[in-house]
Amino acid sequence: MSLDDWAKQEDDDAGRARRLVGSYVAAAVLVATLLGVGIAFGGQIKKHVFDEEVDVKFVPPEPVPAAPAPPPPPPPPPKMAIRTNTAPALGQKHDAPPTELPKEAAREGDPSDAKAEGPAGDGDPNGVAGGTGHGGVAIAPAPTAPPAPPPPPPPILQVAEVSTPPVSRSKAMPAYPDDARKQGIEALVVVRFVVEEDGRIADVKIVKGHPLFDEVVLAAVRTWSFEPATLEGKPVRMARMVRIPFRLKHS
């Protein structure tokens, strides 16, 4: 490299450095200018922004329309007046009472001068069909009270409840049925009955039996008769139970 070239290069570098310094100085001046403007007008801008008045209006919400009221119920139908025809009592006259006394005596009717009967339907509307027209007011018979119910029967007592038990008057035993005898059938029949206050037998029932023996036992027991049981000297009803065995004699 020659000396001229080297000197020329140094001149170029010095000019580039001066331009660079001038750029830095211009940038610093521009930044300082901007900062000064910001400081000078920043307070006013801030005050203007924060002091800006905003007109706020409160708008109430729109009212919700109420549901329409139900239509009123229809008026009730007018009540129909019930007319009651109060007919006069049976046999009562419809003519108005006389206002003055008659001047002449009433003429008696002539049997020979009979008048024809009027058409049907001219009779007394309160009369009875087929009546003669001369009867009085019918009186309904007074209602009769129903008969009183019969008193309940006295209670049926047991052996431990009476002073003396019933004593047999007549006690015919039933005969052995022929069918059972021919078939060689034996049985034990238990019968229950009630001795009434007069000694009669009532409510005869088979408690244990056999179809071939039940009927003859019931027929025989209904013929029995007893002296009634007593309690404190008075006859009372009492239940009895009897066992009747049917046994064949084996030879």
Q: What is the pLDDT of residues 191-212, one digit of tens each?
A: 999 999 999 999 999 999 999 9
Cβ–Cβ under 8 Å, residues 227 and 169: yes
Q: pTM to 2 decimals?
A: 0.40
CA distance 194 to 2: 173
Compute, in degrees rounded to 10, the torsion defined by CA atoms 129, 135, 136, 142: -70
CA distances from 146 to 141, 143, 151, 152, 180 (A): 15, 9, 15, 18, 53
234-246/156-157 β-pairing: parallel
Per-residue pLDDT tens over the stretch 15-27: 777 788 888 888 8
Kind and range of the H or E run holding 31: helix 3-50
Q: Quick one: tokens of 188?
A: 């034990």
